[in-house]
Homo-oligomer: A and B are copies of this chain.
């Protein structure tokens, strides 16, 4: 085993891991921008996925869950469109979802259950299925970096830029890659639906173990983002493992799986931060670290409560070191905590010790709050656990973007 972690300077993309091809094109679901993306693993990949917890789920979510269940976690192709969420579209929506799945299966000679689909866009509108089916015929996935960039572009909606990340590790003397791409601007934005993430790796790992790793990574990363607290009908994060690096299948409770898990978590974390920073109208990333709780779950819940508070988000937009709103957010969680021993740090300065305000330099605080990244630390001093969350400030532009999105 080799513990060396390499981070190449060349961009790592979803086609960096061996065995994957990608593409992204404009087919006419949207006016001008690329709107259809395909990720292909011809030899088939072991897959794992995490979906939205919203009870209103789009047709592609239903079809993808069914495919993965039927195939026992084998996926050869992922089709994504960014024009229309195909949510709240009833039986017709389901038929459209199956038709697009079948079209990919036909074109690339795959079993239908080896094709999964995802979508994001307007909800409650029937999919322009003929446009989509004609578009599918144009898809010519390849291994190039450019094709991976096209994929990253074609899944975007209100995002201001593509979001990609990658890590490489040595396993059995082979260089193994874990790469990912995501979209998600308003988090969550039910009408231009939402957060999608796709990870690829050439490690060899059975689906059930991959599922455990993805779920744990998503809980610590994507699920720690709060942009506006709403949750969507179309959220999906999926990882595909091609096994093409020709390493031994990863086993539970080994050093190798720990390295792999860390790489997956880092890629997810990197993408999650890019999403938070690109929240609708956001001018800065807010990172909240909570320490000193009885367990990680509580720490994460408090961190999310803080980063999700409209008052905290607005104060940070206003570059105001308003710790009163932070402690009020801490106190509002629905499990008992000791509120008498709380320390709060904003930027480089502690502003509260044992729940009592201490003098700090307000002008330094304002200058630090004007930076791209704002760090808040809270210590409850009553346990060994820590947790974090990410978010963004709440700004005039959030109102502007969302007040007139649909019409």
Provide the A3-40 mask, 1 if CB < 8 A to any CB of B, else 0: 00000000000000000000000000000000000000
**Bound Cα distance A328, B362 (Å):** 41
- Cβ contact of A407, chosen from B55, B320, B328, cutoff 8 A: B320
**Bound Cα distance A394, B65 (Å):** 36
**Bound Cα distance A395, B395 (Å):** 10
**Bound Cα distance A79, B322 (Å):** 27
Q: Copy number in this complex?
A: 2
Q: Are A406 and B322 in contact, CB atoms less than 8 angstroms apart?
A: yes
Contact residues in B for A331 (Cβ distance below 8 Å) = 54-57, 231, 233
Chain A interface residue bracket vs B: 35 or more
**Bound Cα distance A302, B188 (Å):** 18
Closest chain B CB from A207 CB (angstroms)? 27
Query: Which of A105-113, A161-169, A306-314 sits within the interface?
Result: A306-314
Residue of chain B at shortest CB distance from A362: B407
**Bound Cα distance A55, B337 (Å):** 8
Q: Are B54 and A320 in contact, CB atoms less than 8 angstroms apart?
A: no
**Bound Cα distance A356, B230 (Å):** 21
Closest chain B CB from A251 CB (angstroms)? 36
Whether a CB of chain B sits under 8 angstroms from the CB of A371 is no
- Cβ contact of A329, chosen from B53, B230, B324, cutoff 8 A: B230
Q: Are A123 and B324 in contact, CB atoms less than 8 angstroms apart?
A: yes
Contact residues in B for A352 (Cβ distance below 8 Å) = 88, 124
Contact residues in B for A398 (Cβ distance below 8 Å) = 310, 314, 399
**Bound Cα distance A188, B324 (Å):** 12
Provide the A165-191 mask, 1 if CB < 8 A to any CB of B, else 0: 000000000000000000000101111
**Bound Cα distance A402, B328 (Å):** 15
11 extra A-B contacts, CB within 8 A, seeds A90-B356, A320-B404, A396-B400: A123-B324, A125-B357, A190-B328, A233-B328, A310-B398, A314-B399, A317-B399, A318-B405, A320-B403, A320-B407, A396-B399
A residues sitting closer than 8 Å to B (CB atoms) are 53-57, 87-90, 122-125, 186, 188-191, 228-233, 309-311, 314-315, 317-318, 320, 322-325, 327-333, 336-337, 339, 352, 355-357, 362, 366, 394-396, 398-400, 402-407
